[in-house]
Amino acid sequence: MSVEELGNLFAATVNQETLETASELMVDVSYDDFEYHQACINIFDSAIESCKGNDMDIIKCINRSGYKVNDFESALTLLKDFKKVYLTEYVHRNS
């Protein structure tokens, strides 16, 4: 995962939307495209690990979207929440 990929994901889906709405947009694509689904999971997982490593670029990517975080703890919580919401929507749509 590159920081650019995380930035693109947030720019394309989150922007000024809720995590739920962003996840619905993502699942609109990943429902029929398992490779895109895997890419989303990889982006989340890599971003979470980078955040744990105190990579400031993660905070910058998030803050370019409609969400603002001031520290790594807030960024980590947001990323974990976003992944959870996305997976919940994905499973719901595929059941």
Dihedral, 45, 8, 81, 49 alpha carbons, nearest 10: 30
Q: What does DSSP assign to residue 17? A: S
Nearest to 82 by CA among 19, 31, 40, 37: 19
Nearest to 6 by CA among 52, 54, 60, 53: 60
**Angstrom distance (rounded) from CA 44 to CA 61:** 13
Domain ranges of the chain: 3-93
Q: What is the pLDDT along the chain (95 residues), one digit of tens a residue?
A: 567 787 878 777 887 788 999 999 899 999 999 999 999 999 999 999 999 999 999 999 899 887 899 999 999 999 999 999 999 999 999 88
SS3 at position 82:
helix
